[in-house]
Structures are given as structure tokens and as C-alpha cells.
Amino acid sequence: GEDVEQSLFLSVREGDSSVINCTYTDSSSTYLYWYKQEPGAGLQLLTYIFSNMDMKQDQRLTVLLNKKDKHLSLRIADTQTGDSAIYFCAEKFDTGRRALTFGSGTRLQVQP
């Protein structure tokens, strides 16, 4: 079945690295995504990784994928106060409607 889980809350100090974790249950997912949602705003796509990749780096963002453990992580280097938001991981399957299955989101709080 489809199930994506995330921890609810993470607090870090400005300048530190943040690591947001996500686990999923369906190994047939083809793409995994990270979205950012700021208060009162819609979802902003941050990055995504194809399921045959282990790692993807994009400026301050690093995505790691462990398919064996069905574990996805997002590392934000040099976290800034502007990074405070809710981060959602989501998976997509290659068949059917291709809707995304989302986790419940991790609220990142960056302390100055």
C-alpha cells in the first residue's frame, strides 16, 4: 500500500545543517519529491530524485535515497531563518493517475 511518513517537527540553529527524513512503503515509486510550504502559501517544489539515483545535490540541498530501506532524506546546509517552513516528501508511481502521495509534513523551525 501507499504510506509516506515523516517526523512532525525539527528545530535547528541558524547556520547549522538540517536533515529531514521520510520513509515510504511502496518500492514501485518512480520519483520522490520534496516540497516546501511557507505559512499561507502553496507548495513550492524544491527538488526531486528519480528512483534509480542515490543522491542529488542542488546548491544547499542534498537528497539521499536508500531504496533498500525505503528512506529519503533532505539535507539543507547552512540553514537560514528563511528556511523555516513545512517540508513535505511525496512519491509518484509510474502507472495510473500519477497523483502524488504525500507525507504529513515536517515543520522546520530555525532559531536565530
Partner 1 sequence: GAGVSQSPSNKVTEKGKDVELRCDPISGHTALYWYRQSLGQGLEFLIYFQGNSAPDKSGLPSDRFSAERTGGSVSTLTIQRTQQEDSAVYLCASLLADTQYFGPGTRLTVL
Residue ranges that bind partner 1, judged by CB under 8 A? 4, 30-31, 33, 35, 41-45, 48, 88, 90, 92, 96-105
Contact 95, 37 (CB under 8 A): no
Complex with partner 1: residue 12 or 31, whichever CB lies closer = 31
CB of 61 to partner 1, least distance (A): 16
Distance CA 53, CA 6 (A): 21
Complex with partner 1: residue 20 or 100, whichever CB lies closer = 100
CB of 50 to partner 1, least distance (A): 9
Q: How many residues does the chain have?
A: 112
Distance CA 110, CA 36 (A): 14
Complex with partner 1: residue 29 or 79, whichever CB lies closer = 29
The HSE-up count of residue 32 (CA atoms within 13 Å, CB side) is 31
CB of 68 to partner 1, least distance (A): 23
Decide: helix, strand or coil at residue 44. Answer: strand
CB of 51 to partner 1, least distance (A): 11
